[in-house]
Amino acid sequence: MAVPTVLLSDLELDALTELVNLGVSNAASSLREMVREEVVLSVPKVTEVTREQAIANLTEREAKRLVAVHQDFEGDIRGRALLIFPEAKSMELVRAIVGSELAVEDIMELEQEALAETGNIMLNSCLATMANHFERSLRISLPEVIYGEGAEFFGPSSGAHADDRVLFMFINFAVRHRDVQGYIAMLLDLPSLATLKVLLGALIERTAGATIVAPPHDV
């Protein structure tokens, strides 16, 4: 049986993008307190792609090695959320958090911790915003830092299957003069994406309230 290429409607993707926007904006407010400088965000863009397309997207944008922080979540929907940056820029982020005056070896030592904490803030904020709006709870694992290339992050060892869909969320966040660029990706299996569609539909209905009048009959 052929799997439909796109499961989410435009309005469902719009709603999901707005949830990511809310989550990342909240996270930026927390991150600002850590780096003591304004965190500038780009407009988030959410696309639903296959695992192969997600890997291609990532390697197209960044050929070099990447660092990711990932957290697994389960509840009504289950999957993995990743915050991904180019390896070089991850050190910039660490410097912004721990201060540039520290010696290189001290920064190296703190790198894992600083990345895990940043990932924890960004990813938890997105997942918690989604859970709250869906009125569902999600159990979220502790953050883990991984190094590698795009294919490895979305590969079979990530728990993803060949037919899994990936919600690829692109958002650029910059700490003033430091060019720190990040992507958020979410891996969901097909049953979870179908559930996500139902949850987004319910959210849209609740948000619309009485403002959307259903057509009197089907044409």
Partner 1 sequence: MARIGEIVTHKVLIVDDSKLARMAVVKALNALRPDWLRVEAGNADEALARINDQSPDIVLLDFNMPGKDGLLFAAELSRQYPQIAIAVISANRQVEVINRAEAVGATFLPKPLTEKALGDFLSAAVARQAAAAR
Residue 210 lies near partner 1 (rule: CB under 8 A):
yes
Residue 24 vs 55, nearer CB to partner 1 = 24
Terminal-residue alpha carbon distance, the chain:
29
The one among 8, 17, 160, 186 contacting partner 1 by CB under 8 A: 17
Angle at CA 160, nearest 5°, toward 15 and 21? 20
Residue 5 vs 211, nearer CB to partner 1 = 211
Q: Which stretch binds partner 1 (CB under 8 A): 64-72, 82-90, 92-100, 200-208?
A: 200-208
Taking the complex as a whole, how short is the minimal distance between the CB of residue 68 and partner 1, in angstroms?
A: 24
Cβ burial, residue 26 (10 Å; 0-12/13-18/19+): middle
Q: What are phi and psi of 71, to 5 degrees?
A: -135, 135
Local structure of residue 160 (DSSP, 8 states): -
Taking the complex as a whole, how short is the minimal distance between the CB of residue 163 and partner 1, in angstroms?
A: 28
Q: How far apart are the C-alpha atoms of 15 and 134, rounded to whole Å?
A: 11
**Taking the mean position of all CA atoms in its chain, how far away is CA 161?**
19
Residue 15 lies near partner 1 (rule: CB under 8 A):
yes
Number of residues that bind partner 1 (CB under 8 A): 26
Q: List residues binding partner 1 (CB under 8 A).
A: 11, 14-15, 17-18, 21-23, 25-26, 28-29, 32, 38-39, 41, 43-44, 203-204, 207-212
